[in-house]
Amino acid sequence: MTNKKLTVPPTDRRRVISLLVENQSGVLARVSSLFNRRGFNIDSLTVSATNDPTVSRITVTTHGSDQEIEQLILQTERLEVSRQVFELTPDKSLQRELLLLKVACNAKNRAEMREIATIYKAKIVDLSPDSMVLELTAKPENIDAFLRMFEGYEILELCRTGVTALERGGKHPHMQKPPQEVRAAQFPLPGAHGPAPDAP
């Protein structure tokens, strides 16, 4: 008997797209509108400042196949407000999300909830006789697992910030190249095997 490895269909993969854009009004609306026109559902979206006051970082979580994401990046790069657009893969980036979870509690189950919080390294940031608010910063999949532990309890409210992410290591080449070079490096044209020889 052979063990078959289960694979996730390409269209079911969670993708994290990072956009460095001009820090000006209306940029977020233009980016989200483009995603909508291309038929992409935005699972989460975060906007943050960068070390350059003229540039903002937008981190979008969506789903799609390799080909669909490639086309999406190409289209997004064409926006005049875009500086750089690239995908952040889990193995080469640090991805974090913040969760605030309010659950109903009483004297009987409060100790159980504390134990779950300790295992997942969550903080209890508010406690009252009938409720508890937990704070957890972790990878998205760890937050999903944390929430599954509370399925048997009464969840009063929850809020997830959405994914924010950075590439591992030092400053990466795509942060220093114009979008055209980035696009060529990420998605080489079919049949391209290197620079063309000089014309005679």
Q: What confidence tens digit (pLDDT) does each residue in 20-45 have?
A: 999 999 999 999 999 989 889 999 99
CA distance readout (Å), 194 to 67, 172, 189, 198? 22, 21, 10, 12
The pLDDT of 57-63, averaged and rounded, is 94
The C-alpha atoms of residue 42 and residue 39 are separated, in whole angstroms, by: 10
Per-residue pLDDT, 11: 52
Per-residue pLDDT, 181: 54
The structure tokens listed for 15 are 């993708």
Per-residue pLDDT, 5: 43
| pLDDT above 90: residue 99 | yes
Q: Which residue has the higher pLDDT, 191 or 166?
A: 166
Per-residue pLDDT, 170: 73
The C-alpha atoms of residue 58 and residue 81 are separated, in whole angstroms, by: 12
Per-residue pLDDT, 2: 44
The C-alpha atoms of residue 21 and residue 56 are separated, in whole angstroms, by: 5
CA distance readout (Å), 21 to 36, 58, 60? 18, 7, 13
Per-residue pLDDT, 172: 62
The C-alpha atoms of residue 136 and residue 124 are separated, in whole angstroms, by: 9
Q: What is the mean pLDDT of the chain?
A: 84
Which of the residue ranges 60-69, 97-106, 120-129, 166-175 would you say has the lowest mean pLDDT?
A: 166-175
| pLDDT above 90: residue 183 | no
Q: How many helices (DSSP H) and strands (DSSP E) are in the chain?
A: 5, 9
Domains delineated in the chain: 10-93+168-186 (3.30.70.260), 94-160 (3.30.70.1150)
Phi, psi of 134 (to 5 degrees): -110, 145
pLDDT confidence of 173, banded at 50, 70, 90?
low
